[in-house]
Every structure is written in structure tokens, then in C-alpha cells.
Amino acid sequence: MSLADRFFARFKNSEPLALELISRRCLRTRFQGSSCDRCLSECPAGAIRLESGQIVLDQKLCLGCLTCTAVCPAGALIGLDSRLAAAPGKVAAGKAVSLCCEKGIRSGEEVILPCLGALAGEQLAAVAARSGQDIFLRLSCCADCRSAFVPDILARRLLELKGRLENEALCSGIQLLITKEQEATADQAEAASSRRAFFRAFWDISLHAATETISTIKADPNPQEKHAHKHQPARLSQLRQALSDSGDQGHRLALLKLFFTLTVNSECNFCGGCAGMCPTGALKNTREDEVKRLKFDWAKCSGCGLCLEFCRKKALTLSPGRGVEALETELEVLREMPVE
């Protein structure tokens, strides 16, 4: 397809595609015995369905809320808006932060996302740890949007996050501003913004629209990445980065609860099947002194559980959280890991 053809196809539809399904990353594609249905359960529009045991995305039914991308453990469903990846870098330490879509801009200082439905619980925790201050999710415009269900989904994710952390210390400052009255109260607490910041936000939106259009009509800039055998969802990378950067001991201990621990019993015969199936590269077969070992990289594990489903010996157990006593050792390993 020529550049002119791509340009015409881009503007033929009123709206660009919000997300893409990379089927080879999907757990059900990697292993036909997988029962993963996270995206199906999360999609409120029925745009995701099962056909012959495989996940299928119906772009015509998709509302662009990106809620499915927040729960996929293998990054098989990805949002196509570049602001999703850039958002964590815009959160400044020691400063309150507001997140919103383009409809929710009030001061121009907000971190803008295509839709807040893309925020996973791990990402909320990472933003809270990086900021250390109040986090405002501006959702008052959702009532007039076709994705009016997003506030309810985020409220559930925040509740689940508090349960995983076993306390509300880290996420106590995360506030869902669902009504205009709640936003007005939050505005009074935040510092006044300049007119320059407000207009800069609209300039950024225009620049973003042009950039996204150009990148969309071009060929995929990195086709090999989409077909990589192992891939980690963005929220896992952002969680690792937040853990590595945080200087607060309490925040570190809380973030470690969002990772996982794998134990192997005596039934394991080191066949290597689980390592081959692992979609994120968290499992690897090694040999030390002629002895086979199964190495588990906790910082790469998304907790998908595919290794447990595949293991015929039922030799594996996956548990949430990392041991508090191993905190310093864990962080040293993490600092040596490259950030994707």
C-alpha cells in the first residue's frame, strides 16, 4: 500500500482505531488449553469474543475505552495512542497530578490520556508512588461520553488495588472526580495555573493529532517488536520503574506486593515447557554444574498463570507478593535489569 493509499484510508473513517490485537501474544494462542478470559470479562461493549477458542476483536463494536488493555497479562491488546507510554514520564515527584482525557482539560497542567479506562491498578500505584502526592482522575466528562462506564470500572480497580496492597496508605491520595462538584473542590486545593499552560495543552493536542496521523499512515516503524516471542505489558515495566525510582521504604514494600512469587515442588522434571510457554520471559531453564534449574525472574512476571495451566505435573505455585525480608536483594536485582 502506497503512502497516498494509507493517507486516504486514514481519513476514510471518522475515527482512527483505538487499539490493536496482536494475536500471537494472546495466552489462548500460545496454549489452546488456556482459560484466560480477562479481556472478555472487562469489555463492556461486547467487542471481544471467542471464535474457535481464539480471541477476536470487532473494531466496529469497540468504543475505544481501552479497558481491555489494562487487564491483558501479555500485552496482546495494545492502545495505539502514543500518550499511553509517555504518561508516566510526565508525573513529577512531590507534585499532585491530574489525569484526564482531552474532554477533561481544565488547567492545562493535566496528564492527558486517550481514555482513563486504560489505567490498570498497577499503573495507579506506580503514579502514586512516583508523585507521593494527591492523584486526581478527572472523570466528570464521562457522563456525556459513550464510555460512561469508565468511572465504575476505575472505582472497582482502585478497590481491588487496595485489597492487593492490604492497606490504603499508597493509594489513599487517589481521588476519582466523577461529578462537577468534586472537580470544583479539587480545583480549589490545587495551585492556580497560568493561561499559558492552558493554551499549551491545546497546542500539544494539535501536535499529537498530527504526529499520530503521520505515524498511522506510515508502515509499522518496528514490526519485529510486534512479533517478538516474549513481551511484557507496559504496566509491568512502569511498575518496575516506580519500584526502582522510589526512595520511600513504605512505597517500596507496597509495590512489591503487586509482583508475584513462584515456587516449584519436587514433582518438577525440568521439561522446560513452562519456560517456553511463559509470555513475558519470567521463566528460563538453566544448567548449573550439570544440574537443571528453573529460574524465575519475578520482575518480569505478570501473574498470568499460563505456566500453571500448562504444567502437567502441577509442580508450580504462583503467589501474590514478594517477601519483605528480601527487599534490598530484590532492588539490587531490579536495578541491574534494563527498562523496556
Total domain count, the chain: 3
- The pLDDT > 70 percentage for the chain reads 78
Cα–Cα distance list, 8 to 62, 214, 216 (Å):
22, 12, 11
Cα–Cα distance list, 202 to 11, 127, 147, 211 (Å):
21, 23, 22, 14
* pLDDT of 328 over the 90 cut: no
Is the same domain home to 87 and 213? yes
Is the same domain home to 311 and 327? yes
Residue 109 lies in a domain: yes
* pLDDT of 10 over the 60 cut: no
Q: How many residues does the chain have?
A: 340
For the chain, the maximum distance between any two Cα atoms, rounded to a whole number of angstroms, is 68
Q: Which helix (H) or strand (E) holds 157?
A: helix 150-165
Mean pLDDT calculated for residue range 273-298: 89
For residue 62, what pLDDT is reported? Answer: 95
Cα–Cα distance list, 315 to 36, 290, 309, 310, 311 (Å):
20, 21, 11, 10, 7
For residue 185, what pLDDT is reported? Answer: 80
Phi-psi region of 276 (alpha: psi -120 to 50; beta: other; left: phi over 0): alpha
Q: Which helix (H) or strand (E) holds 237?
A: helix 234-245
Is the same domain home to 140 and 212? yes
Mean pLDDT calculated for residue range 51-60: 94
The CATH number of whichever domain residue 35 belongs to comes to: 3.30.70.20
For residue 216, what pLDDT is reported? Answer: 45
* pTM: predicted TM-score of the whole model, two decimal places: 0.82
Q: State which of 217, 243, 275 marks the end of a domain.
A: 217
Domain that holds residue 323: 234-335
The residue written with cell numbers 496482546 in the block is 76
For residue 63, what pLDDT is reported? Answer: 94
* pLDDT of 188 over the 50 cut: yes
Cα–Cα distance list, 288 to 263, 293, 294, 295, 330 (Å):
19, 7, 10, 11, 22
Is the same domain home to 121 and 247? no
Cα–Cα distance list, 17 to 72, 273, 334 (Å):
18, 36, 35
* pLDDT of 3 over the 80 cut: no
Number of Cβ within 10 Å of residue 67's Cβ equals 26
CB 258 within 8 A of CB 236: no
Is the same domain home to 265 and 277? yes
For residue 110, what pLDDT is reported? Answer: 86
205 or 242: whose pLDDT is higher? 242
**What's the DSSP call for residue 211?**
H
What does the DSSP assignment read for 87-112? Answer: GGGGPPTTS-EEEE-GGG-SSS-SEE
Closest listed residue to residue 161, CA positions, set 135, 193, 142: 135
